[in-house]
Amino acid sequence: MTLEPFGARLRHAMDTRGPLCVGIDPHASLLTSWGLNDDIAGLERFTRTVVEALADRVAVLKPQSAFFERFGSRGIAVLEKAVEEARAAGALVLMDAKRGDIGSTMGAYAATYLDKDSPLFSDAVTVSPYLGFGSLRPALDAAAVSGAGVFVLALTSNPEGAEVQRATAADGRSLAQLMLDHMAAENEGAAPLGSVGAVVGATLGDAGADLAINGPLLAPGIGAQGATPADLPAVFGDAVGNVVPSVSRGVLRHGPDASGLREAAGRFADEVRRAVSGS
């Protein structure tokens, strides 16, 4: 059975659980800070703790695939279990894989993350459009069939991104704006929210782009990268109500105690609510 469209499910999750995405980023230094070894046992313990602590209360959990892939097939098995258990507990899972390719290869990536029969099926996946927005068509079509979402890189928080994303297209628009306009076209008429989102860094200060895409705006950079929830209105303007701030180290550093993770996530969610509402 096809799921309700991702945009609608995300809107409901944000309204009921709070507008927050927590990353699951088990990099070596974080495992060490938790008193865990940088091995498959440490990876499994870390991941299980985060999922058990947060999956029943945050809107979105975002595992970073690379930190699982580095352990080979055993790491992927941990990732598969985390996706299944997080979704069963009510969290939406956004797979942070940043895939981008063409033709049948992009189709294979789409089948991996956006086909309901795949063991890595997720509610949404991050993708890169800089082989041309049309190269994403297999993922966009697969997501539409399964009720999943796609988050497209637009204006990222890393400084190197500007040399591509701020470059000027033939018609005078920045490449980022060109991609955002494509996303808006994909989301046209969707309610309450489209299922094609953009990744826009919360550290930008001023996005300098039209973010009215009728879709969610994933905003990495809150916490350890320097941005705060109070910065969101300046970056996102009138679109701030569709922002899903993403926090990783700002929450994860409060582990391994589950109560510390829950308290940190709850605090960030409350700060985002206040920033978005202006109260």
Q: Is the pLDDT of residue 233 over 70?
A: yes
H runs (alpha helix) in 89-168: 103-114, 137-146, 162-165
How many angstroms separate the first and last alpha carbons of the chain?
A: 41
pLDDT at 226: 77
Averaged pLDDT score across all residues of the chain: 95
Predicted local confidence at residue 278, as pLDDT = 72
Given a cut of 80, is residue 147 above it in pLDDT? yes
62 given a catalytic annotation: no
Task: Please write the tens of the pLDDT for every residue from 77-96.
Answer: 999 999 999 999 999 999 99
The confidence score (pLDDT) of residue 42 equals 98
1 pLDDT band, cuts 50/70/90, is low
Q: What is d(CA 279, CA 259) in angstroms, rounded to the nearest whole number?
A: 27
What's the predicted TM-score (pTM) here? 0.96
Is 160 exposed, middle or buried (CB count within 10 Å of its CB: 0-12, 13-18, 19+)? Answer: exposed
CA distance 202 to 32: 28
pLDDT in the model for residue 279: 60
Whole-number Å distance between alpha carbons of 129 and 120:
21
113 and 93 in contact (C-beta within 8 Å)?
A: no
Q: Out of 62, 81, 98, 116, which one is annotated catalytic? A: 98
Q: Which whole number is the average pLDDT over 31-55?
A: 98
Distance between CA atoms of residues 147 and 253, nearest Å: 33
155-194 tens-digit pLDDT: 998 889 999 999 999 999 999 999 999 999 999 999 999 9
